[in-house]
Amino acid sequence: MSTEAIDPRYVDIDQWPTIRAVEAMLEGQMAAVAAIGSQTGRIAQAAEEAAARLGTQGRLVYAGAGTSGRIAVQDGVELYPTYNWPQERLLFLMAGGLVALTEAAEGAEDDAKAARAEIADAHVGPQDVVIGVAASGRTPYTVAAIAAAREAGALTVGIANNDGTALLSAADHGLVAATGTEIVAGSTRMKAGTAQKAMLNMLSTAIMLRMGLVYRGRMVNMRISNEKLRLRGQAMVRDIAGVDMDDAARALDAVGQDIKQAVLVAMGVATEEAHRLLDIHSQNLPAAMRAVQRGE
């Protein structure tokens, strides 16, 4: 397994001048991102299928152990403030439980039985998308979670840093960034972790794009939770609907600070009709706007 191997170039790194060690780390980080280059088509295909599968009810489920599990959770928790992705449509399966986010529970990664039980207990099914992350690509907990989810009809994505591994075979979509040896042997929080985070960022953002939660480069489904974000939302409504800031503010107030609904209201749609249009178009703002422009 290349992520666990000792790289002879770095066997004396603890004796190097610190600046030289840090420069080597930077080189490794850049190489980690470059390793994703061959996966862009696969990431795009997985995102398109995930968006179609999730619809208005499906859940995004993240599964992993240790460092990989923590990186997966980090990606998922950002979806609520950034895209207002409903928290009830997010599920995190972490080997050893969520306490393992801050406390080591490395032995839990071997518990395949627990992973299968958690998939069953969560009633994972055909509307759900399950993303499993493991640097080795063979972590029993993560492989079992993906296999059980696929058996239950969910769409599954496996992210690993070693090719030809069980996780990639178990998933509908296998994404691999072959980052190779680490500067500190086995420390997959370095190159492997960087590549995992980048792939997860790309995958989840592309899913949000295809679900219509971004319009003209703006986070139109953003959750407004403070004055800074209210002003940002107001500016979005102004720019998209072609109104002034005062009209944008009134539209936001009329719909409880929902940016997508406010855009439609600012375009002249009644508040109840704005809500209905977004519902029938699966919360996809561009689709709802086209319906308004067609007079539907």
Catalytic residue set: 78, 109
Closest by CA position to 262, among listed 249, 271, 252: 252
d(CA 50, CA 115): 21
Q: List Cα–Cα distances, 294 to 265, 278, 289, in angstroms.
A: 16, 15, 9
d(CA 144, CA 259): 40
CA atoms within 13 A on the CB side of 35: 27
Q: 256: which strand partners?
A: none
- For residue 160, what are the contacts with CB-CB under 8 A and spacing of at least 6? 133, 134, 135, 136, 137, 167, 168, 174, 175, 176
SS3 state at 160: strand
Please give the single-letter amino acid code of residue 199. M
What H or E segment, with its residue span, contains residue 92? strand 90-94
Tokens 């953003």 sit at which residue? 222
Q: In what order do the strands lie in the sheet with 155-160?
A: 90-94, 60-64, 129-134, 155-160, 173-176
What H or E segment, with its residue span, contains residue 230? helix 227-241
SS3 state at 266: helix
DSSP 7: P
CB 113 within 8 A of CB 138: no
